[in-house]
Amino acid sequence: MVQTVGGLEVRAKEELFINLEPLQRGGIMPAEARKAALSYIDGYSTCDYCVGTLHLIKKPPIANFLEEVAGFLGMDFAILTNGCREAKFAVVHAITKPGDAIVVDANRHYTSYVAAERVGLAIYEVESTGYPYFQIKPEGYAKAIEKVKAETGRLPSLVLLTHVDWIYGNLVDAEKVGKICEEYGVPFLLNTAYSSGRMPINGRGLKADFVTCSGHKSWAAGAGTVGILAIRKEWAEKVIKSSKEYKVKPIEILGCSARGSSTIALIVSFPFIKERVKHWDEEVKKARWFSSQMEALGDIKQLGDKPHNHDLIRFDTPAFDRIAQKHRRRGYFLYEELLGRKIAGIKAGKTKAFDLSTYQLTNEQLKYIIDSFKDIIEKYS
């Protein structure tokens, strides 16, 4: 019988399965954060001692936390947003106007594009190198900026780089892109949804004017959604400007953003985040080992950066697709076989290619996953 709560199936994915879903691995909360989120679960729980705006609240210590986060990211100021997408939109909306141009990478998250669309920008794209590496080369940004100049007679109003993309887990040399932006005098937004919180980030060192972060994706902060927008002080007046009527309310985040347990989760997870980014090299090592073991199974090819530099890994998997062609459950067989081995997170129906994350899994768990894939191949060969 399925256990339910309030008529919904109880979600015990992390307790019963190894979860490989790249969207979820970096957002798994440590016990202390779950405890804190539980006690702050009610609406507006952060606002018992409201001082007019969320980012200035001292109890719970949101203001102090944001100061510390700004330093942690090598930036001057940080404010909370409802997510990374809202952080990106806040910047795009604050510093561009309809008809301006923006340069984005081809591996961008859709929300980067939509944020630009919402403001009415002309979107110029930096192409990837295509199959099988799909890399974004920093010099592509110089070409794209030149293209904007040639076609519009003006520089783009903003450059956006997806530091690590959501499809291939490619890590782009952000510092090189930052230098290009500096040379042209174009503001640089670094989307770190898949990097900050997992690996060390120094926004100033990377020459970023804005760093956007996802709490629920990479900072072990669930309990809702939450993001961080970190900025350099030169932009504070423009991006964190307040309403004329409501003096303490920053316009771009509509005054206050994540007003509840997700913010609490972010604060309580922070010591855990500061510690875990120190071990990023170990995560990369595990990801590379896993990738090599997958390819050794035969007829499986890792896409993206090689050697890989991130826990999010995408594979072309003809080995599984061949089985799917003959299996009565077709593409669903792999999902079901894995579920039977208590492995979740590979999307149902995917056998041609799939992505997964090895983030914070133990060597024992990773070996078990490899053995399970091997078992499945052997079972049907």
Partner 1 sequence: MREKIVEKTFDALFALEDLREILRKTAPFDLTKEQVEEARKVLAKVRKALDEIEREMR
Q: Which residues bind partner 1 (CB under 8 A)?
A: 14-18, 28, 30-31, 34-35, 38-39, 341-343, 362, 364, 368
Length of the chain: 381
CB of 111 to partner 1, least distance (A): 29
CB of 265 to partner 1, least distance (A): 13
Closer of 33 and 158 to partner 1 (Cβ): 33
What DSSP character marks residue 311?
S
CB of 13 to partner 1, least distance (A): 9
CB of 362 to partner 1, least distance (A): 8
Would you call 365 helix, strand, or coil by DSSP? Answer: helix
**Can you tell me the distance from the alpha carbon of 61 to that of 43, in angstroms, rounded to the nearest whole number?**
18
CB of 316 to partner 1, least distance (A): 27
Cα dist. 18→4, 98, 273, 298, 365 in Å? 21, 46, 21, 23, 7
CB of 127 to partner 1, least distance (A): 41
Token match 């898949």: residue?
194
In DSSP terms, which residues pair with 228 in a beta bridge? 80, 213
Closer of 324 and 334 to partner 1 (Cβ): 334
Contact 144, 152 (CB under 8 A): no
**Can you tell me the distance from the alpha carbon of 226 to that of 78, in angstroms, rounded to the nearest whole number?**
13
Closer of 17 and 289 to partner 1 (Cβ): 17
Contact 206, 227 (CB under 8 A): no
**Can you tell me the distance from the alpha carbon of 242 to that of 347, in angstroms, rounded to the nearest whole number?**
43
Gyration radius of the chain over CA positions: 22
Would you call 192 helix, strand, or coil by DSSP? Answer: coil
Closer of 41 and 296 to partner 1 (Cβ): 41
CB of 339 to partner 1, least distance (A): 11
Q: Which helix (H) or strand (E) holds 356?
A: strand 353-357
Closer of 28 and 51 to partner 1 (Cβ): 28
> Would you call the peptide bond into 30 cis, given omega within 30 degrees of 0 as the criterion?
no
**Can you tell me the distance from the alpha carbon of 70 to that of 228, in angstroms, rounded to the nearest whole number?**
9
Closer of 249 and 341 to partner 1 (Cβ): 341
Closer of 113 and 368 to partner 1 (Cβ): 368
Closer of 242 and 365 to partner 1 (Cβ): 365
Residue closest to 157 by CA, chosen among 85, 229, 235: 235
> Would you call the peptide bond into 60 cis, given omega within 30 degrees of 0 as the criterion?
yes
Contacts of 302 (CB under 8 A, 6+ apart): 291, 294, 295, 308, 313, 314, 315
CB of 272 to partner 1, least distance (A): 12
CB of 21 to partner 1, least distance (A): 14
Closer of 143 and 367 to partner 1 (Cβ): 367
